[in-house]
Each structure stands twice: as C-alpha cells, then as structure tokens.
Structure 1
C-alpha cells in the first residue's frame, strides 16, 4: 500500500506507539493494545483486544523484529480467535519504504502456519486482509488529521 504519510511516522505509529495510536485511530475495531510481557522490543508479547461485537475477541502477538533505522517490524500472532482453530500462527514482516514525494510504501509479507494438512480458504484470507487494510487506512487518516501525533 502507498501512503502520503512519511515512513518514519507510520513506522512509529504502528510499531513503536501502537498501544496509544491504534485504539485512537480505529476505535470502531480496536478496544485496547498493551504489552503484557517484555519491554516492547523483540521477544515482547502484546495483546490486542477488539471491540465488543467484533468477529474476534483478542489476539496475542510476539514481536520478532524491530529495526528503527530501516523501518522494519516483524511479529507473529501466537494466540487468539484470529487463528480460527486451523492455524498454529501467522507471521508478519513489514517494511515502510520512504518515497521521493515524502510518503512511503508499506510492504507486508504474511505467512500462515496451518495445523496439520488443513487448507486455508481464500475468502478467510481476503477478509483478514481487508480488515488489516481498514485499520491501516484508519491509522493513516488519524496521522494526517493529527500532525503532532
């Protein structure tokens, strides 16, 4: 995805200050985000709680990579409803690439680890990607509306 928001701001909002920014930017989807183990760096575990009425209640993810200089963030969902009893985990590796116009390109690689030989339905993946895109766009809009955030 592309954004007019500079890479360093999006990286900071999503990787470093997500516990503050995401519930403010996407109150329709995220109730809270908190570190439940660690200091926020690699090895830390975060819990994201979704709003009531959401398809999911919560997810826990483990931070694998946090590279502030290269705007790279990697984490693995290790627990929660999003795993749908068919997945062991979902790994994400994201990178915010600055563009000449001052914005950035957000690149994300997702890897799904299924339990046994279970196949994932493409519709389930599409729904998850659409929800993630919606939260990304909400964060982007929040940052544009709040230049000091």
Structure 2
C-alpha cells in the first residue's frame, strides 16, 4: 500500500484566532454542535485534549453498532503555527470508505482581520485505489471547515 495525498485550500471569512479556537481547542464542544446529525458527542478517552490525545466520536447516523463510534488521535497541534491534524484510528471513516489509514491536516494563515486561508491535506492508504479516493477523503475535511465558518459567523 502506498500513502497518497490530496490537498486543497479554502478561504473563510473569520479571524484566524477564532477559527483556530473552534477547530483545535474547542473541537469536542463545537463539532457536535455543527455536525449534530452525524456526531452526538466527543469524549477525550486518552490525554488532556492536546497533542497525542485520543478522541471518541459517538456517532448518530449509523444503525450498525460497530459503526456508532470513531476513534481519532490528535497527531499535530501547534498553536504558534496554527497547524492541526487528526488521524482516524478506528471507525466508519476507514471501514466504509475502504481506507486503511486516514489523516487530515490543517494549516491556518491569517489573510486579513476577518479572513483566513486554510490549507487542507489528507493522507490516506487504500487496499484498492479508486479514481476518486482523494476526493472521497477530502470532502469531509472541506465540509468541516465550511461548517466551522458558518457556526462562527452566526455566533
């Protein structure tokens, strides 16, 4: 298996500090609010919520019990550089999409007082590469940033 990457960028109309706080520091509170139809709650099951912490996502959308939770690990958290990454350890993001590994990386850059450029990258491995595997891996990452922007603009 080969590690593949897909990269994209998005500009959002919120300050970098607010986006960083919602994304990296308050994720366990914010994600269930902005994705309530998918994520019921998030528990920190290892660590203090910082680098190396393991998060248990309690999911709302799956009827099969084994797909009702997803475990992710914070593998990068650098507040001075606004860099954040989550690695899926176990769960439907892997099993239902035929990924054997999946990590999402975010790099935030201030563009203006109320504008942030978000560099997004997913690294993934699959048993069987499909033509759209990169897009499948990137779509939830892009949606997440768009939902964060909407939440922060409405708050």
**TM-score > 0.5 by shorter chain:** yes
Contact 1:63/1:74 (8 A) holds in 2 = yes
Mapped to 1, the partners of 2:31 and 2:53 lie a distance apart of 18
Q: Is 1:137 the equivalent of 2:137?
A: no
Contact 1:59/1:81 (8 A) holds in 2 = yes
How far is the alpha carbon of 1:125 from its aligned partner?
4.2
Give the number of the structure whose residues are more often strand, by fraction: 2
Which one of 6, 11, 21 corresponds to residue 2 of structure 1?
11
Q: Is 1:66 the equivalent of 2:77?
A: yes
Which one of 87, 105, 113 corresponds to residue 125 of structure 2?
113
Provide the secondary structure at the position in 1 that maps to 2:112: coil
Which one of 94, 97, 103 corresponds to residue 109 of structure 2?
97
Contact 1:26/1:139 (8 A) holds in 2 = no
Contact 1:29/1:54 (8 A) holds in 2 = no
Provide the secondary structure at the position in 2 that maps to 1:48: strand
Larger RCO (CA within 8 A; separation ≥ 6): 2
Mapped to 2, the partners of 1:140 and 1:25 lie a distance apart of 10
How far is the alpha carbon of 1:87 from its aligned partner?
2.9
Unaligned runs of 5+ in 2: 1-9
Which residue of the partner structure matches residue 46 of structure 1?
Answer: 55
Contact 2:15/2:110 (8 A) holds in 1 = yes
Unaligned runs of 5+ in 1: none
Mapped to 1, the partners of 2:20 and 2:123 lie a distance apart of 20
What does the per-residue CA deviation read over 1:35-60, in whole Å, with 9 as the maximum and x for residues that have no partner? 11111122110112222348953321
Root mean square deviation of aligned Cα: 2.2
Which residue of the partner structure matches residue 27 of structure 1?
Answer: 36
